[in-house]
Structure 1
Amino acid sequence: MASFSFLRNRYWVLRHGRSIPNERVSFRVLYIPGDLEANNIPLEHVHICYSPFSRTSHTAKIVASVLNLPFEGAQCKVMEELRERFFGPSFELTSHDKYPEIWALDEKDPFMQTEGGESVADVVSRLATAMATMEAEFQGCAILVVSHGDPLQILQTILNAANQQTGSGCDDLMSRIQAIKVPSILSQHRKFALLTGELRPII
């Protein structure tokens, strides 16, 4: 797992399971205890932060159960900023076949909104807020972020790019994210795509 010195915590991302939580999610989260032990992180320092949508809530409950954490306790936190990307009325709740059209637009201009939907840059802004909140509330913890495909690949994009920022003015998380909030970086978020139910360490 990469070490990002500008952050106070270690992060994993987990894309939600299907409508009914499935065995793939349960199987993959079984790797987490081994990762925690390898990084000398006790269970009491583990936190699950998740999107309020039903699929992510179900998946977060599975993770909490596997780790024997009380889902209603302080170690599990719902965060509105981790919600699914709003693609706009023309694309919302339609077939996944429409997604390539949106991603093609993202590559051309990640700051462009699709008919009232969120641009990549819009999602970056709220994910930056989510990261700032987690970094302020926790220190030396392992944080599992349970969210959706687009937000999680965008989150990985900005954190990996932020880690490469050097020089004055890039000492803190928000300044690093602001520095990399440019089309050449944000347009590449599909490189960090996750499968349904996929678990991945990012930091």
Structure 2
Amino acid sequence: MAGEAPLLRNSYWVLRHGKSIPNERGLIVSSLENGTLQEFGLAPEGIEQAKLAGELFNKELKEKNVLVENVRICYSPFSRTKQTAKEVAGALGIPFEGTQCKAMEALRERHFGPLFELLSHDKYAEIWALDEKDPFMSPEGGESVADVASRLATALATIESEYDGHGDPLQILQTVIHAAREHSSSNAENIMARIKGVMVHSFLSGHRKFALLTGELRHVS
């Protein structure tokens, strides 16, 4: 609609972490306690994927005439995502310990609960079947799709307010951004209101169509 305000003030890219040690071992590592352990960081292949993603990102920024000093890297405190962010920052020439890089707990991996933690990746099929049936239903002791969407909406609102002119969490984030852009009312006052307006079964249950490969970079807004 002509004259409609844009959904987001900033441009966003999402990057899934590079191949991790849990990926190599076929393990689900989703709790904050386990995810921040160094032993569950990136595998050597994942480090290379992160470096390549950083180089690709740098190229895209130049093509879009985006200054590196205007880039902010927000990442989960999980070791695999922290290491990925550090490699990307290095490729861009951004000091990782500086103000342009920020760890945000709200961007952490979706917690699948104790019935799945440290078990085989084969168990994901059970979770995704539950998601399709009811995205508001949580695995025992874990988070539902709706739970993750809510905290990511909060994280997005925080980023929007702080910076004027970040597996399952990334695909859920893309789901709510896409739905909010295409289907929410333009009369909603802010990003939180617009995202809450599209948090319904028909959108949330299809989050798998936005899945990313390890080390995959995607411009979403």
**TM-score (normalizing by structure 2):** 0.84
C-alpha RMSD of matched pairs (Å): 1.4
- Whether the 8 Å contact between 1:169 and 1:175 is mirrored in structure 2 is no
Contact 2:47/2:87, CA 8 A, preserved across alignment: no
**Is the partner of 2:188 in helix, strand or coil?**
coil
Of 35-44 and 57-66, the range deviating more from structure 2:
35-44
Q: How far apart, in 1, do the equivalents of 2:142 and 2:124 lie?
A: 13
Of structures 1 and 2, the one with the larger relative CO (CA 8 A, separation 6+) is: 1
Bigger fraction of residues in helix: 2
- Map 1:81-120 onto structure 2 (within 5 A): 81-120=106-145
1:196 aligns with 2:221: no
Cα displacement (A) at 1:55:
0.5
| Partner residue of 2:182 out of 164, 185, 197 | 164
1:119-164 per-position Cα deviation (integer Å, ceiling 9, x unaligned): 0000011101110110001122xxxx2xxx0000000000011101
Which is richer in strand?
1
**How far off its partner does 1:71 sit?**
0.4
The unaligned stretches of length 5 or more in structure 2 are 21-41
How far 1:170 sits from its partner (Å)?
Answer: 2.4
Map of 1:132 onto structure 2: 157
Runs of at least 5 residues in structure 1 that lack an aligned partner in the other structure: none
The count of residues paired between Structure 1 and Structure 2 equals: 193
Alignment map for 1:40-55 (pairs within 5 Å): 40-55=65-80
1:32: Cα distance to partner?
1.2
The AA in structure 2 aligned to 1:92 is E
Q: Please state how far the C-alpha of 1:40 moved relative to its aligned partner.
A: 2.2
